[in-house]
Amino acid sequence: MTRDYTESEGSCAWMHVLTEHERERVRGSLHRQNVDAGAMVCHRGDEARYWVGVLDGLVKISSVSVSGKSLTYTGVAPGGWFGEGTLLKGEHWRYDVIALRNSHIGLLPAECFFWLLDRSLEFNRVIVNQLNERLGQFIGQLQIDRLSGADERVARTVAAMFHPILYPGVDRWLRISQEELGYLCGLSRQRVNKALSHLCSLGLLQLRYGGIEVPDLNALRAYESDGAEGEASVLRGLG
């Protein structure tokens, strides 16, 4: 684990609301860790001692049920920070965080995190806004898991990764593979490929080498399938 004092604007956008004295405190406290693809960033049950950010790369937040079924809650794209709720409640991690590719992770110690909360009104606003946006994201994810067909699931998952508040490091282009997207959606790579092709045919996104570009984020968020596939999924679940 190393310290790094050259954080980019995209990976630590929240630093711009701080005073110079506060930024210096963060620079002196922030650690940077390189995590290989497939390795753990956070282990479920471990003590939460850091506010965690994805400086570069991609991670997924997930857990494994008693029956052994893996459930992915969300992905975290570059610029995204998470774990503030766990720190505020003084809890241990309730989920695993796994790197989907080689990633650079930022670790802000809890001591510095709470120091900022105690002295910076602007930082408090950042955290409250993030908690609110994260809640909306999880409510939307619950709806997708219960009602959406595969095409809509892929569309909403991609749109979620372009969230300007939660993932300020992502602009109009997201570096992600179909396999990584499949891990986040809970779908096979082949099914993701089919859904992406359909969404491309509608002009909702464009596939670039190594990633996805979204010309109109609002249109992608508003996409709904014809209902046949989603209804079939529900009926299979009832059968």
Question: What confidence tens digit (pLDDT) does each residue in 159-181 have?
Answer: 989 888 898 888 778 899 999 99
Look at residue 144 in the predicted model and tell me its pLDDT: 67
Query: Across all residues in the chain, what is the average pLDDT?
Result: 86
Question: pLDDT below 50 — which residues of the chain?
Answer: 2-7, 228-239
pLDDT of residue 229: 47
For residue 147, the model assigns a pLDDT of 58
Which pLDDT value is given to residue 4? 46
pLDDT at 230: 42
Contacts of 7 (CB under 8 A, 6+ apart): 15, 27, 30, 55, 106
Q: What is the pTM of this model?
A: 0.81
| Structure token digits, residue 149 | 């067909």
Domains of the chain: 2-136 (2.60.120.10), 148-225 (1.10.10.10)
Label the pairing between strands 173-175 and 81-82. Answer: unpaired
Count of residues in the chain = 239
pLDDT score at 239: 35
Burial of 157 (0-12, 13-18, 19+ CB in 10 A): buried
pLDDT of 232: 38
**CA dist., res. 95 & res. 43, Å (int):** 7
At 235 the pLDDT is: 31
pLDDT tens figures, 10-28: 578 899 999 999 999 999 9
**Residue-level pLDDT at 10:** 55
Which residue type, as a one-letter code, is found at position 46? Answer: D
pLDDT for 1 equals 52
How high is the pLDDT of residue 145?
Answer: 66
DSSP 3-state assignment of 155? helix
Residues 6 or more apart whose Cβ sits within 8 Å of residue 151: 195, 198, 199, 223, 225, 229
